[in-house]
Structure formats: C-alpha cells, structure tokens
Amino acid sequence: MDEYIHLTLNMNRVQHTHIEDAWKVLLKSFNHTLIPIEANDLELALRECIQLIQIAEALQCVEIVGIQLEASLLKYGQVLFRRIQINPAPLMNMAFRLRSELIFRECIVHLVGTWNSVKEHESVKNAVDQTPGAKQLIEKYHGYLQERCRKLENDIVNEFPGDMARPQNCDIPVKSEIYGKDILLWMALTFFKNWFGAQLVNCRGYVSLDGGYALYRELAAGRDGYLNRSTVTQFYVQFPITRRSQSIIQSHLNTIKDWMQAEIVKKTGIMDSCCQLNVLQYPVDYLTCTQFERNDYPWIAGEGMNHVVEGMASDSPQGIQGEDNTGTDN
C-alpha cells in the first residue's frame, strides 16, 4: 500500500458525551436486545464500538456482546472492508478484542499481502505489536505466500510447454533434426525465458515490494498482457529473421503465454482473492490469496482475551482521506 493513514482509535482514553447511554445500551444487550450503532459515518461507528468494547471488557462480558458488535459493524459492508484495506493493523486489534473472525481474517489477508512494503513502517509495527501473537501469524502466512510465489517462479523457469522436451512418436534419444524442425518454437521459448529471467533479476518477483503482484498479473493476463510485438522486436536486432518467421515466432509466443497462464499461474491460485473487499470495485496492488486457518485465531489458539491495549493511537479518529465513509455498500 502506498500510504498507511494513522488510525486513531484510543482504546483507553476515548471521550464520549453519551457514556451513560453506552452503558444502558450494553446492559440492555444482556436481554438479547440488539446493540445499535446508529452512526452513518464509519469512523464515528468505530469510536462508538470501541467505547462499548471498553465497557464490555470492564464487565468481562465481551463474549456476550462481541457477536452483536461485529454484526453492527458488518452492516457497513464494503465501506468497512475498504477501511480495513487502507489500514488493517489497528483494526486487527479491535477484531481481536471482539473475537471477530471475519474482521481479523480480513486484516491478516491485507497485512500478509503488503508485508514486504509495510513491515518496516514504525506505525505498522507498533499497531501489530499491540495484538498478542499477530506478528508471528503475519510472518507465518507471509512465509507460506512467499513459498507459493517461489514455486510459481521456479515452475515457469523450468517449464517446457507441450511436447517440446519429448516430441511424440519419436525414437529415444530424439535426433537433432527432429528438434531442428521446431527451431522457431525454441527461439520463442528462449525469448520468453529471457524476458522472464530479466523480470526476476530486476526484482519483480516475490522479493519485490508488491510481492510479485504486478509480474504475476501480467502472466495471468496471458498473450496480451506482456511481451508484445514491440518488445520482441528488440530480439530481432540481435537475431535478424524474415517477417514470416517473426510472425511464426509471435504465434508460438502466444501459445507459450497461454500455456503459462492456464497450466501454472491459474492452477496456483496466486491471483485469487480471499478477502471480503470487492477487488474489482476497489483494485489492490498486492496479493490477497491468503487462506487463513481457523485454528490460528489467537483466542482459539489459546492467546486469551485479557490483553487490554493502552495508547493504541492518538485521541480522535480520522477518516479515509478522499473516501466517503457514509452509508452502507453491499
């Protein structure tokens, strides 16, 4: 993410002019009355929710009201998920305190996808450290993600589409003249692997700040996404061939790119989205394919819920700059 907007949800110093009303609302919930969060603005709703969490923690009844508070927040739909995308680390602490699996998982997915670029940000580190076990979880799943990316890159480097390596209906070992018949196909594969190797050398793979997202997106786009005619023409300066041969090579390149798209990139699921955010409406520039296992939620794994964070941020919530936080999206 380009920018982390500081989420100022002070867990212990929230000032509210209607604190008595908050107590009444929470106490009524013991009779299974739905906890209303009426604010049209998400930031005000988060502030109100945090105050209710504070009271619930004081009464040791988070388990009773947490589900209702979660339901109230989820009514904001994509507005909430967009908020999580912009700055997931502080909201992860709120989800931890609520035991909200959906919101916690959403935060993890975005943090894992952006970890290469945000792990050294002081504000992010401080916010993550406020949630017990969060850093270990993020690094665990980030390691899983990097392993998937490394495998994808290794598979592409070592792939020979179709029957290139062992032509069918041929005696073994295959004679050189058999391979020679496909010289333009081998040239096309050489051009492809030269291009892909250059991308890795230029740190566009899993080591990049975007975790390889831009490179994998090009591969997932197939024939029109990369290595177009103008790029391939650069090879012909060094390896001049006829226009007819160039057209044949371009056709082979399209076949190779389609193969890599369908047989490697698509099958890895690396470009799949596992987050609640509508990435078509709100595109992201990092991988969101992390599948979080339920047994890894801290409260399920045994971290407990007695951790009360002090000084999570400063005094008053700030909205998403340039975003309309009012209303509810589906």
Q: What is the DSSP string of 156-190?
A: HHT---TTSSS-TT--SSPPHHHHHTTHHHHHHHH
- In angstroms, the Cα distances linking 181 to 58, 172, 178, 245 are 79, 16, 5, 13
Same domain, 96 and 116: yes
* Domain presence at residue 163: yes
Torsion of CA 194, 196, 202, 207, to 10 degrees: -150
List pLDDT tens digits, range 237-274: 999 999 999 999 999 999 999 999 999 999 999 999 99
| C-alpha distance from residue 169 to each of 102, 159, 176, 252, 259 (Å) | 54, 21, 15, 21, 22
Same domain, 111 and 207: no
242 in the same domain as 195: yes
Q: Are residues 49 and 73 in the same domain?
A: yes
Same domain? For 116 and 190 the reply is no
**How far is the C-alpha of 76 from the C-alpha of 80, rounded, in Å?**
5
233 in any annotated domain = yes
Q: Are residues 253 and 230 in the same domain?
A: yes
The per-residue pLDDT for range 192-242, each reduced to its tens digit, is 999 999 999 999 999 999 999 999 999 999 888 899 888 899 899 999 999
Give yes or no: residues 184 and 73 share one domain. no
> Do 202 and 237 belong together in one domain?
yes
If one counts every other C-beta atom within 10 angstroms of the C-beta of residue 227, the result is: 22
Q: Dump strand ranges (E) for 21-156.
A: none
pTM of this prediction?
0.82
Q: Looking at 222, 249, 268, which one is the last position of a domain?
A: 268
- If one counts the domains in the chain, the total is 2
Instruction: Note down the domain range covering 77.
Output: 19-132
> In whole angstroms, how large is the CA radius of gyration of the chain?
26
Per-residue pLDDT of the chain (330 residues; tens, 9 = 90+): 433 333 333 433 444 445 655 666 666 656 555 566 666 789 988 988 888 888 888 878 888 888 888 988 999 999 999 999 999 999 999 999 999 999 999 999 999 999 999 999 999 999 999 999 999 999 999 999 999 999 999 999 999 998 777 777 777 787 888 888 889 999 999 999 999 999 999 999 999 999 999 999 999 998 888 998 888 998 999 999 999 999 999 999 999 999 999 999 999 999 999 999 999 999 999 999 999 999 999 999 774 444 443 333 333 333 333 343 333 343
Asked if 89 and 161 sit in the same domain, the reply is no
Residue 1 within any structural domain of the chain: no
Kindly state whether residues 93 and 150 are assigned to the same domain: no
